Chains A and B, each alone.
Chain A
Amino acid sequence: MSLNQATRVAVLLSIGQHPVTARARRADQDARALELALQLNHADVIPLHVGQLNEHNEAALRSYLGMGISQIKLIGNSDILLGLEQGVRESQANIVLCGSRAETGEGSGLVPYLLAKKLGWPIVSGLVSIEKLDQGSATLLQALPRGQRRKLKVSLPAVLAVDPAAAVARQSAFGPAQRGAITPQKLSSIEAVSGAEVKHNSALHSFLWQFQPAKKRPKRLKIIKATSARDRFKAAAAKADASGGKVLQGVSADDAANEIIKLLLEESVLNLDGHL
């Protein structure tokens, strides 16, 4: 890729919440997204945050700066989605990197999809790494369950949502965090639209929504469909029995190995094509 057409990567940063202390912190997945962006060669990283700057979230925002970026663009006073859309458009980014779910608020994971719809770009979720950036397309690695990976090619511009399995973000250094700048961004078109658009926003009826601390989910009961009293009694009185596994004592090592290999092949976890 020629240098004058360097990829411009907008990274969407949000304020996270520590799962135990509930203190504001850098959001884990957003930090991973920023880490991914910083690992790219020849890419301009444009960190964006929509919201107000106050004493509660300044430390959290600054911890992103401590990862080695000089400034964060702050888009204040607006609907989040509109602010993001305008911010991304004005930064002329062709890749948007973000975490897949916020750590505060509803945390529905819908924002990347809504933003992609607004921008008219494709979206890929579950991103683990960006393998290659070409003219107009990117080769990505996507996380599948059980640690498996899949390679995808997506046409740019695109929105990429980072999976929790992506590389862990680097530590935040205190000095750069204090020196970095959080620059408020004046967006040209935002004030005019915001009033009219917010009415359409479905978040309006969310004042009926109630947030409570998460309740522990009830454990599913074992449902007993017994026709006779005897069956019901047996089910109720049954002990959680031992698994009743096979115990082989005094067998030769070869026989033991055969037993193990038989079970591994039955469960199809043993791949005989691989390394010798």
Chain B
Amino acid sequence: MSENMNNSTLRRDPRREWILRNRLHPQHSEIATEDSSSDVLHEWMGPQGIKRKAPHNIGFIGPNGIRRIDRSGTQQAGSASRKEIAQQPSRRSHQIQHPQQYILVVADMTGGRLSAQDKDILGLAHQLAAKKAETAVMLVVFGEHKEAAFAEAGVDRLLHIEGEAFDGFSPDLRLAWLTAIERELHPDYWLFPDSGLGGGDLGRRLAVELDVHAATGLWQVNLKEQPISCVCRAAASTQDLTRELPRVILALSECAEPISDSLHAVQEFNLVRQPLDQLPRIQDLGAVAVDPASVSLAEAEFILSGGNGIRDWDGFHQTAEILGATEGASRVAVDDGYMPRDRQVGATGTWVTARVYMAVGISGAIQHLQGIQSCDKVICINTDAGCDMVKRADLALIGDSTEILAAVRRKVSELKQEKRHVA
């Protein structure tokens, strides 16, 4: 019927319309749902080529019998806009067929994936690339990676350098590769994340090798100025240095917006001349097992924190040892003398960055919650279900902390025993 409505005479069904108007009619819901599927159009092209609208047909009758209009297009049946949205490519394609210049980005790839800082730096690279035509952004990746979304992050060309040596600390070999790239491509810019041991170390090595006075701790680039200038953190982050933009850049996170609306061709690139193997002067002897108790609270990955609700402190310490967690405490526990002052978590103590934070018997004062702002997962054991820590927690357990911690100790020991027997 609806197909005919556009071009032929309009056929009406008065009874049907009457049922539709009367939502108390026993058949109302049946017909209304039929309508919403395809029958009633709220917009069509009239015979004179004029768009006709039926405002009464827009939307649907909600559960309370009130008409609801959902403009997102998700619930409106028969609307063409929904299909259009689905067909639209969400990101525009960005292709560079024959690049004239390159901008090189050397990513940290922490955990084998592009970090947020890496993505910001790719964004900065594209801002710089937009200044010149036919400039491609090339990403250098050392060793294995697990990243699947290079195209979305803005990688035009990918230079993936494989080798077992890159699993460990091999600055000399990496530098040899980077200088080989420099010789072959002579890129416009080299971009590194200014992070501890990854880009921060390698970038400085390359800058010294190329005899460039690198911009370190860069957080802003003024592209409109000529020559391009940049703002870097200086003097232990107490000063800002405005200077010209050099070829080697070590940038902080959030230095630019990451790529969000384009899709890039991740074309593999290979060097013509690869560097020769050389005898490394620095040898990696592997990671060292670290006692979690010696890890400083600010950089610990997993913290077990105790507060006023703990009755059994011996059990708490045992649990931390068995779980391999770094110990923390709330202010009350420190003031009462159960924990040393340097273990205090919160605005007045240490701001922690743990991935998993387990709060036992801590109700969650605002200062404490501030201190754990950047924690990913919070587990909370508390007797009071209404406290603020429960609201913050990803997993909250209401009960007696002594019993629960004892059960955790028992279970983890069992798991460890099992694993030992299997092995």
Contact = CB atoms under 8 A, between A and B. Distances in A.
A22 B407 contact: no
B365 interface: no
A250 B404 CA distance: 12
A126 B260 contact: no
A108 interface: yes
Nearest to A246: B395
A150 B419 contact: no
A31 to B, nearest CB: 14
B239 A211 contact: yes
B42 to A, nearest CB: 17
B267 interface: no
Nearest to A215: B240
Contacts of A229: 71
Interface stretch (B5-13, B29-37, B284-292): B284-292
Given A19-B238, A228-B72, A246-B394, A256 B204 contact: no
A258 B393 CA distance: 17
A41 interface: no
A214 B217 CA distance: 12
Nearest to B285: A151
B191 to A, nearest CB: 16
A196 B269 CA distance: 42
Contacts of A3: none
Contacts of A125: 197, 200-201
B302 to A, nearest CB: 4
Interface residues of A, number: 90
Contacts of B281: 122, 154-155, 158
Nearest to A22: B238
A106 interface: yes
Given A154-B281, A263-B377, A276-B322, A147 B396 contact: no
Contacts of A223: 257, 260
B403 interface: yes
A235 interface: no
A147 B295 contact: yes
Interface in B210-256: 211-214, 216-217, 219, 232-244, 254
Interface stretch (B145-153, B178-186, B410-418): B410-418
Nearest to B413: A276
Contacts of A116: 208
Contact of B285 (A104, A146, A153, A249): A153
A272 B416 contact: yes
Contacts of A210: 241-243
A30 interface: no
Contacts of A154: 281-283
B165 interface: no
B214 A152 contact: no
B356 interface: yes
Nearest to A165: B296
A249 B208 contact: no
A220 interface: yes
Contacts of A148: 287-288, 290
Contact of B324 (A155, A259, A270): A270
A146 B394 contact: no
B125 interface: no
B377 to A, nearest CB: 6
Interface in A116-168: 116-117, 122-126, 139, 141-155, 158, 163, 165
Given A124-B282, A229-B71, A251-B399, A106 B208 contact: no
Nearest to A244: B394
Contacts of B238: 17, 19, 22, 213-214
B409 to A, nearest CB: 8
Contacts of B204: 109-110, 113
Nearest to A151: B285
B332 to A, nearest CB: 23
A175 interface: no
Contacts of A17: 235-236, 238
B299 interface: yes
Q: A108, A155, A257, A272: which has the most chain B beta carbons within 10 Å? A: A108
B398 A103 contact: no
A155 B321 CA distance: 37
Given A228-B72, A260-B358, A214 B237 contact: yes
Given A260-B397, A270-B302, 10 more contacts: A147-B326, A151-B284, A151-B288, A243-B391, A245-B394, A249-B399, A253-B406, A260-B404, A269-B301, A270-B412
22 contacts: A106-B216, A107-B217, A117-B208, A122-B172, A125-B201, A144-B287, A150-B286, A151-B284, A152-B282, A205-B244, A210-B241, A230-B70, A245-B393, A245-B395, A248-B395, A257-B408, A257-B410, A260-B397, A260-B404, A264-B323, A269-B355, A276-B413
Interface of B: 70-73, 85, 110, 168-169, 172, 196-197, 200-201, 204-205, 207-209, 211-214, 216-217, 219, 232-244, 254, 257, 260-261, 281-288, 290, 294-296, 299-302, 321-326, 355-356, 358, 376-379, 381, 385, 390-400, 403-404, 406-408, 410-413, 415-417, 419
Among all A-B residue pairs, the 4 with the closest Cβ atoms = A147-B295, A257-B407, A151-B285, A269-B302
